[in-house]
Amino acid sequence: MSLLSLREVTRTVIPPDQPALTILSGVDLTIDAGDHVSIVGRSGSGKSTLLNMLGLLDLPTSGEITFDDRPVKTYSAAKRDRLRGAAIGFVFQQFNLLPGRTALENVTMPLLYSTGRTFWRRRRIAAEMLELVGLGHRLSSLPDRLSGGEQQRVAIARSLVRGPRLILADEPTGALDLDTGQSVMDLIDDVATRTGAAQVTITHDPMIARRARRHFRLERGVLTPVDDPSLEPLTRRNRRETAPDAEANGAAATDDALADLGFADLSTPATTSAPSDRTVD
């Protein structure tokens, strides 16, 4: 049973006083539990529209989207919203943090819609998630007191705090420098592996795309699989060799954060000593 499936999905809009514009055309894509997919496309190729389809934000003009093999069109708007909140986590290029709220309060926000024990333990769950991403010492910090990398880690913690089954990352490193971006992607990959979540990364960066196991190209609304040896998944060793200092430091910081929470099985032997400050700036 697939987690999410798009079959012959088309999205057409009709601008005022203009002919109909087809943004997506006959898109077929199946995402299984634990899958890791990258979608590469230029600006204007339909990436944002496709993300809205994958995130159940919009319905197609034609074709079918299913979640757990059930057609999404059979859900009411309210039920679709609840499904999205419980099962899908979004990581955006812009961090979208609430400026007047601490890191802990930002990560707690999605849990306000939970029920039962999860609702009453929401602050503890949020604090544990921030610890996982290496920000256990920054719980009370406001966004404007955090670096760009730290803000993205808060955004990642917020997207994962409800244990989503599908992570949608939209240009997740676009607002970060190379060093920080690579360590942030390591973190997303490791947490997704640990939780068994499927991951879809939409990007224009081939280096980020290579991290996935399956690759697609979106061009003029048409999605096609890419069978290109240059896009074979990068191992952590590959990434360290590509950018030695950035990857070694990023991998060490990620491994330390995971090991501290008892996730030592996700850690890899470090080739360099870990930095004294595990927070990526």
Q: Dump the DSSP string for 154-168.
A: HHHHHHHTT--SEEE
Q: What is the pLDDT along the chain (281 residues), one digit of tens a residue?
A: 789 999 999 999 888 888 888 999 999 999 999 999 999 988 888 898 999 999 999 999 999 999 999 999 999 999 999 899 889 999 887 888 999 999 999 999 988 887 888 889 889 999 998 988 888 899 999 999 998 888 988 998 898 888 889 999 988 877 777 777 788 788 888 888 888 899 999 988 888 888 899 999 999 999 999 876 566 555 555 555 555 444 445 444 444 443 433 333 434 433 333 333 333 33
Residue 223, domain extent? 33-57+76-266
The answer as to whether 41 is a domain residue is yes
The answer as to whether 4 is a domain residue is no
Name the pTM for this structure: 0.75
Q: What is the CATH number of the domain that holds 50?
A: 3.40.50.300
Q: How many CB atoms lie within 10 A of CB 20?
A: 9
The answer as to whether 13 is a domain residue is no
In Å, what is the CA distance from 132 to each residue of 81, 100, 153?
Answer: 27, 23, 10
Q: Give the pLDDT of residue 119.
A: 86
Count structural domains, the chain. 1
In Å, what is the CA distance from 113 to each residue of 77, 81, 106?
Answer: 16, 11, 13
The answer as to whether 1 is a domain residue is no
Q: How many CB atoms lie within 10 A of CB 277?
A: 10
Measured over the CA atoms of residue 138, residue 142, residue 146 and residue 152, the dihedral's sign is: positive
The answer as to whether 173 is a domain residue is yes
Rounded Cα distance between 171 and 38, Å, is 11
In Å, what is the CA distance from 269 to each residue of 93, 131, 260, 261, 272?
Answer: 30, 21, 15, 17, 9
Q: Give the pLDDT of residue 188.
A: 85
What are the tokens at 130?
A: 């921030």
The answer as to whether 3 is a domain residue is no
Nearest Cα neighbor of 188 from 208, 216, 214 is 208
The answer as to whether 176 is a domain residue is yes
Q: Give the pLDDT of residue 232.
A: 57
Q: Give the pLDDT of residue 74.
A: 93
Amino acid at 102: T
Q: Give the pLDDT of residue 238.
A: 56
Q: Give the pLDDT of residue 229.
A: 52
The answer as to whether 53 is a domain residue is yes
Q: How many CB atoms lie within 10 A of CB 144?
A: 9
